[in-house]
Homo-oligomer: A and B are copies of this chain.
Amino acid sequence: MTTRVAILGGTGYTALELLRILLRHPQATISAVTSRTETGAVGDVHPSLRGRLDLRLENLSPSQLADRADVVFCCLPHVASMEVVPQLLDAGLQVIDLSADYRLRDPAVYEAWYGHAHTDATRLASTVYGLPELFADRIPGQSLIANPGCYTSTSILALAPLLKERLIEPGGIIIDAKSGVSGAGRTPKLNILFSECNEALSAYSVGNHRHTPEIEQVLSDATGQAVDVIFTPHLIPMDRGIFATIYASPRGKPDPKTLLEAMRRFYEGRPFVRVIESLPTTKAVSGTNYCDLTVRVVKGRVLVLAVLDNLIKGASGVAVQNFNLLRGYPETSGLIV
């Protein structure tokens, strides 16, 4: 028996990746794809899907969605998401929200970083943060999952094991992160034009990127200490992939073997995190739901290097991983190709 799933906001890159994964998912049936602006066949908007599914983009109300689907993947931008999610929940749908709207527990923090008062603030404290490697046991049966940000997942997966085992200091952590351009979305803007990005490398949102409070909140909650990070994102002339180079201060004399073993212990049995000894590369995880991690000690400092595909493990892949846990399916369903 399969679950009927709908994609809310079907024109962007995360929606495309969701469609690709769900098409091969043995327990999911895509029943609707929505758009407020486009009405064509899904295969016209996403030519790679031609001949793969016979659906058109539709502008559907929450109740129409509830007639068609059991679970909704919400790919709307922030603010738009919190306007519709309460209605979807009221209509009886389970929702996996890929926006930032339900990730921060504190509405004041949300307002400070996103510039909007939160209109569904009462739900924030109880919403489960959908990072299965940390919170798998809280996900089954939830009605709403806040799907993590891409930089966030990379950073948290890299740091959680060492923070949890108190092997590094929780303060002054530096996360130098690099991302492919697809993370910036599919809405035309000057800074993501080919001729601007190609043969170009730049930093952006230095000291004020919105994933900062998300990283700090989740790592603090998960490891029981006040985690504080400096987060510097860079735009890289490639389509897919995130690379995080993380610098932390050790507690006591750091030993590479101990650090690696802590990572391995933490992720034992987790199907999508590969703790490796060689240096990671985004190419090895491109198009997959894997996060590859390793650790080094340089001049007494702990370096963690982490990679994942921003659209898969950083967005749509983890969304399906959450879906699997939510519905009681094998965690890897649809996700290993």
A244 → chain B closest CB, angstroms: 10
- Report yes or no: B240 in contact with A207, Cβ–Cβ below 8 A: no
Residue A78 lies at the interface, judged by CB distance under 8 Å to chain B = no
> Whose C-beta in chain B lies nearest to the C-beta of A176?
B176
- Report yes or no: A193 in contact with B195, Cβ–Cβ below 8 A: no
Taken together as a complex, chains A and B put the C-alpha atoms of A243 and B235 apart, in Å, by 11
Partner of A201, one of B24, B197, B282: B282
- Report yes or no: B298 in contact with A203, Cβ–Cβ below 8 A: no
A residues 279-307 with Cβ under 8 Å of B? 279-288, 290, 292, 296-299, 301, 303, 305, 307
Residue A198 lies at the interface, judged by CB distance under 8 Å to chain B = yes
Residue A124 lies at the interface, judged by CB distance under 8 Å to chain B = no
- Which among A172, A193, A195, A207 has the highest number of chain B CB atoms within 10 Å? A195
> Whose C-beta in chain B lies nearest to the C-beta of A191?
B188
A277 → chain B closest CB, angstroms: 10
- Report yes or no: B199 in contact with A193, Cβ–Cβ below 8 A: no
Binds B, one of A101-109, A132-140, A144-152, A226-234: A226-234
Contact with B along A208-251 (1 / 0, CB 8 A): 00000000000000000000101010101111110101010000
> Whose C-beta in chain B lies nearest to the C-beta of A44?
B278
Q: Which residues of B lie under 8 Å from residue A178 when comparing CB positions?
A: 178, 201, 234, 236
A192 → chain B closest CB, angstroms: 6
Q: Which residues of B lie under 8 Å from residue A47 when comparing CB positions?
A: 276, 278, 280-281, 283-284, 292
Residue A206 lies at the interface, judged by CB distance under 8 Å to chain B = yes
A residues 167-193 with Cβ under 8 Å of B? 172, 174, 176, 178, 180-182, 186, 188-190, 192-193
Taken together as a complex, chains A and B put the C-alpha atoms of A50 and B284 apart, in Å, by 8
A5 → chain B closest CB, angstroms: 18
Taken together as a complex, chains A and B put the C-alpha atoms of A27 and B304 apart, in Å, by 39
Partner of A239, one of B181, B199, B284: B199
Residue A200 lies at the interface, judged by CB distance under 8 Å to chain B = yes
- Report yes or no: A282 in contact with B202, Cβ–Cβ below 8 A: yes
- Report yes or no: A203 in contact with B279, Cβ–Cβ below 8 A: yes
Residue A329 lies at the interface, judged by CB distance under 8 Å to chain B = no
A residues 4-27 with Cβ under 8 Å of B? 13, 20, 24
- Report yes or no: B195 in contact with A181, Cβ–Cβ below 8 A: yes
User: Using a CB–CB distance below 8 Å, which chain A residues touch chain B?
Assistant: 13, 20, 24, 44, 47-48, 50-51, 172, 174, 176, 178, 180-182, 186, 188-190, 192-204, 206-207, 228, 230, 232, 234, 236-241, 243, 245, 247, 274, 276, 278-288, 290, 292, 296-299, 301, 303, 305, 307, 336-337
27 contacts between A and B (CB under 8 A): A24-B336, A47-B276, A47-B281, A50-B274, A50-B292, A51-B274, A51-B290, A172-B301, A181-B194, A188-B189, A193-B193, A194-B197, A199-B282, A199-B283, A200-B282, A201-B236, A202-B280, A202-B281, A203-B279, A206-B296, A207-B296, A207-B299, A207-B303, A234-B243, A234-B245, A236-B236, A236-B237
The 10 closest A-B pairs by CB, nearest first: A207-B298, A47-B284, A188-B188, A200-B283, A202-B281, A176-B176, A194-B197, A181-B194, A48-B284, A182-B195
